[in-house]
């Protein structure tokens, strides 16, 4: 899929964007965003922020979230949930993360936090999701632990710029 409308962000608006990212995701992008090509686009009814031709952030339910590509290419750090290899095929198809498939979770994770779901073997990011449990409760429990929001192979992942 392609983006229909897209425009460059004015330098005066970049400061506001940096604050928004820091407030909502606890990521300091001050030095990274300085003198970069930053654009806003509308894609499939969602606002998308593009940094140097990489879809970096998107807005869902008034929450700014990083994309999987930004986590890989822009070295963005988010709390992680590591799943076993048996869960990988379900997660890349958009399934929520079930607690029995979790091997490890950052203890700092609180319910409602945005987390990155990675696979155990290579540590590659598979999905972005919202924690439904605290990190200390995810391992060795039952039920859903993370609600999947963005995963490998979805519309944002396949986005052509």
Cβ(34)–Cβ(116) below 8 Å: no
102-113 average pLDDT score? 95
For Cα atoms 94, 4, 151, give the angle at the middle one, nearest 5 degrees.
Answer: 15
Which residue from 108, 97, 111, 112 is spatially nearest to 148, judged by alpha carbons? 97
The domain ranges of the chain are 5-73, 80-151
Report the SS3 class of residue 76: coil
Assess whether pLDDT exceeds 70 at residue 1.
no
Higher-confidence position of 24 and 60: 60
> What is the distance between the alpha carbons of residues 84 and 86, in angstroms, rounded to a whole number?
5
What fold does the segment set 5-73 form as a domain? Nuclear Transport Factor 2; Chain: A, (3.10.450)
Reported confidence tier of residue 40, pLDDT bands at 50, 70, 90? confident
Is the pLDDT higher at 105 or at 28?
105
**pLDDT at 152 exceeding the cut of 90:** yes
pLDDT digits 0-9 by tens, 63-106: 888 999 888 777 678 899 999 999 999 999 999 999 999 999 99
- Residues above pLDDT 70, as percent of the chain: 93
Q: Which CATH architecture has domain 80-151?
A: Roll (2.30)
């Amino acid at each position: 899929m392609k983006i229909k409308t897209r425009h460059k962000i004015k330098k005066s608006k970049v400061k506001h964007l940096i604050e928004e990212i820091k407030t909502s995701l606890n990521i300091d992008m001050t030095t990274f965003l300085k003198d970069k090509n930053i654009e806003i686009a509308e894609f499939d009814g969602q606002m998308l922020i593009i940094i140097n031709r990489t879809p970096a952030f998107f807005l869902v339910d008034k929450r700014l979230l990083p994309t999987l590509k930004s986590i890989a290419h822009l070295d963005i750090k988010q709390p992680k949930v590591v799943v076993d290899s048996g869960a990988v095929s379900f997660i890349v198809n958009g399934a929520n993360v079930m607690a029995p498939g979790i091997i490890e979770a950052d203890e700092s994770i609180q319910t409602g936090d945005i987390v990155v779901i990675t696979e155990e073997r290579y540590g590659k990011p598979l999905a972005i999701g919202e924690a439904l449990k605290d990190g200390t409760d995810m391992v060795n429990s039952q039920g859903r632990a993370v609600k999947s929001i963005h995963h490998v192979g979805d519309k944002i992942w396949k986005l052509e710029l």
